[in-house]
Amino acid sequence: MTDATASQAATSAAPVVEPGLRRVMGPWLLLLFIVGDILGTGIYALTGQVAKQVGGVVWLPFAVAFVVAVITAFSYLELVTKYPRAAGAALYAHRAFGIHFITFIVAFAVMCSGITSSSTASRAFAANLSHAFGLNFSAWGITAVGLGFMALVAAINLRGVGESVKVNVLLTCVELTGLLIIIVIGFWAISLGQGDVSRVTQFKPAEGGGLFWPVIAATTLAFFAMVGFEDSVNMAEETRDPTRIFPRILLAGLGTAGVIYVLVSISAITLVSPEELGIGETPLLKVVQAGAPNFPVWIFGFITMFAVANSALINMLMASRLVYGMSREHVLPPVLGKVHPTRHTPYIAIGFTTLLAFALITFVGEVPALGGTTALLLLCVFTVVNVAVLVLRREPVEHKHFRTPTIMPILGALSCAFLAGPWTGRDPVQYRVAGALIGIGILLWIVTVLVNRATGARPAGPGVEDIGGKELRS
């Protein structure tokens, strides 16, 4: 064998190293990403529904939701710095329990939460279009616009969207601008003696009296406004020095969003009564009209539509890619993993997630039911993540990482499980919707198991390459 031939053989025998993601996220860009991911549909669409349940102390459920989110964030911080991979809750469940079905259910629940969140955004988009521009759509008209909006999102998704950090910064600034307008209008009106500041301490007690259960019921809805922070763990591989940066930036992002939400709530309830705020799906438009009647309401309507449209697109992108990824890992039917020959997008997965969104918009419809279902699904996922932290304490890693006090994941698991329970006064329709979605997933899982047995394929969980060949329990 000649030297050239030997060299060629050695080169061909060398393992191919897959390129890693580029670490482009510094602390400020990561902060903007986290804040932008949290801000959006929840506060724009659900402030009125929260006020409807608790009255003037509308800020309190958002504050409670913030505390629960922060507790769970500590668990995410330990896991994302311990396993800095872009797979999130499914990876943590996989490493903690090693059971394919649990990994699948967690991943499918996250996917469903993206679809329900996008469906909520589509309803909010249609309602704001109707009221901001004086179109006065009927209930069916809002549904039709919501379906059209979701079809447009699917078309953009099918075409392929190149996301960049700069675009995310722009979208975050638009979302933030809308909320700052509400805060400025509210506090300017207060300084002029307008509105009724005393409302912020007034609450609507339960039938038997007391504040606890109305606040808990409203918190289950307000929690929808705090979700989004968990998506940031998928940026771990693109963040510079994630072990050092993530803890302070994630907590700073949550803190920023929490303060903004409380200030928006105070501004809203000062200018608009809780009874009026709870009517319809455009509560913040009413605040603008009450506090600044000369302000062009269509401008704020446009900002709101832009903010919720961004949320819908991001969530549908996430959902379709999760379905595609699960299909490629042999935990969903292989047909869902097909890629368009020219667009190179997962067109079957996009069609599947879009059809689910169409069904939710048509048959569920109401923003509180859709937003509440999103919160319910993620509270269940967060419960699993908090438990995973405790389980994975027995699996040390070589590098230094953030370690949360043991009490935090315990409190996180208990609080998330509590808020997901039926005793909170959660609308039963949310359990039916979540159950139907998970039922579809289980049916697809069974089909996939049968296909795998016929073809000899084996499912592979996220991050399998990091498990060191550990045998999984199926």
> Which pLDDT value is given to residue 131?
83
> 406 to each of 72, 82, 392, how far by Cα in Å?
12, 15, 12
pLDDT digit string (tens) for 175-224?
Answer: 888 899 999 999 998 888 888 888 988 887 666 567 888 899 899 988 98
Any idea which of 17-21, 62-66, 279-283, 391-395 has the lowest mean pLDDT? Answer: 17-21
> Which pLDDT value is given to residue 190?
86
> Which pLDDT value is given to residue 261?
92
pLDDT digit string (tens) for 386-400?
Answer: 999 999 998 888 888
Q: Is residue 127 predicted with pLDDT exceeding 80?
A: yes
DSSP tag of 133:
T
Q: Is residue 466 predicted with pLDDT exceeding 60?
A: no
Q: Is residue 37 predicted with pLDDT exceeding 50?
A: yes
Residues pairing with 99 in the sheet: 473
Q: Is 99 helix (H, G, I), strand (E, B) or coil?
A: strand
> Which pLDDT value is given to residue 167?
57
Q: Is residue 356 predicted with pLDDT exceeding 60?
A: yes
H-helix or E-strand spanning residue 259: helix 242-271
Buried b (16+ CB within 10 A) or exposed e, 79-101: bbbbbbbebbbbbbbbbbbbebe
Q: Is residue 364 predicted with pLDDT exceeding 90?
A: no
Q: Which residue has the tokens 């097909």?
A: 338
> Which pLDDT value is given to residue 88?
73
> Average pLDDT of 104-133?
88
Residues pairing with 25 in the sheet: 239
In-domain check, residue 244? yes
> Which pLDDT value is given to residue 345?
78
> Average pLDDT of 84-108?
82
Copy the structure tokens of residue 235.
Answer: 């940026």
> Which pLDDT value is given to residue 164?
45
> Average pLDDT of 114-127?
89
Q: How many domains does the chain have?
A: 1
Q: Is residue 470 predicted with pLDDT exceeding 50?
A: no
Half-sphere exposure of 323 (CA within 13 A, CB side): 29
Q: Is residue 95 predicted with pLDDT exceeding 60?
A: yes
**% of the chain beyond a pLDDT of 70:** 85
> Which pLDDT value is given to residue 160?
60
Q: Is residue 266 predicted with pLDDT exceeding 80?
A: yes
Q: Is residue 415 predicted with pLDDT exceeding 90?
A: yes
> Residue 434 contacts by C-beta under 8 Å, 6 or more apart in sequence?
112, 373, 376, 377
> Which pLDDT value is given to residue 180?
92
pLDDT digit string (tens) for 221-259?
Answer: 889 888 877 776 666 556 677 677 778 888 998 999 999
In-domain check, residue 150? yes
CB 183 within 8 A of CB 267: yes
Give the Cα separation of 402 and 237 in Å (integer): 16
In-domain check, residue 9? no
- Domain carrying residue 309: 22-457
- In this prediction, residue 267 has a pLDDT band, given cuts at 50, 70 and 90, of very high
Any idea which of 32-36, 285-289, 404-408, 431-435 has the lowest mean pLDDT? Answer: 32-36
435 or 204, which is more confident? Answer: 435
Q: Is 25 helix (H, G, I), strand (E, B) or coil?
A: strand
- In this prediction, residue 6 has a pLDDT band, given cuts at 50, 70 and 90, of very low
474 or 137, which is more confident? Answer: 137
Residues pairing with 473 in the sheet: 99
The enclosing domain of 412 has a CATH number of: 1.20.1740.10
Alpha helices per DSSP H over 133-211:
139-159, 165-191
> Quick one: how many helices (H) and strands (E) in the chain?
17, 0
- In this prediction, residue 469 has a pLDDT band, given cuts at 50, 70 and 90, of very low
Q: Is residue 468 predicted with pLDDT exceeding 50?
A: no
- In this prediction, residue 380 has a pLDDT band, given cuts at 50, 70 and 90, of very high
Q: Is residue 44 predicted with pLDDT exceeding 50?
A: yes
pTM greater than the 0.75 cutoff: yes
Nearest to 83 by CA among 412, 398, 391: 398
Give the Cα separation of 401 and 382 in Å (integer): 20
In-domain check, residue 465? no
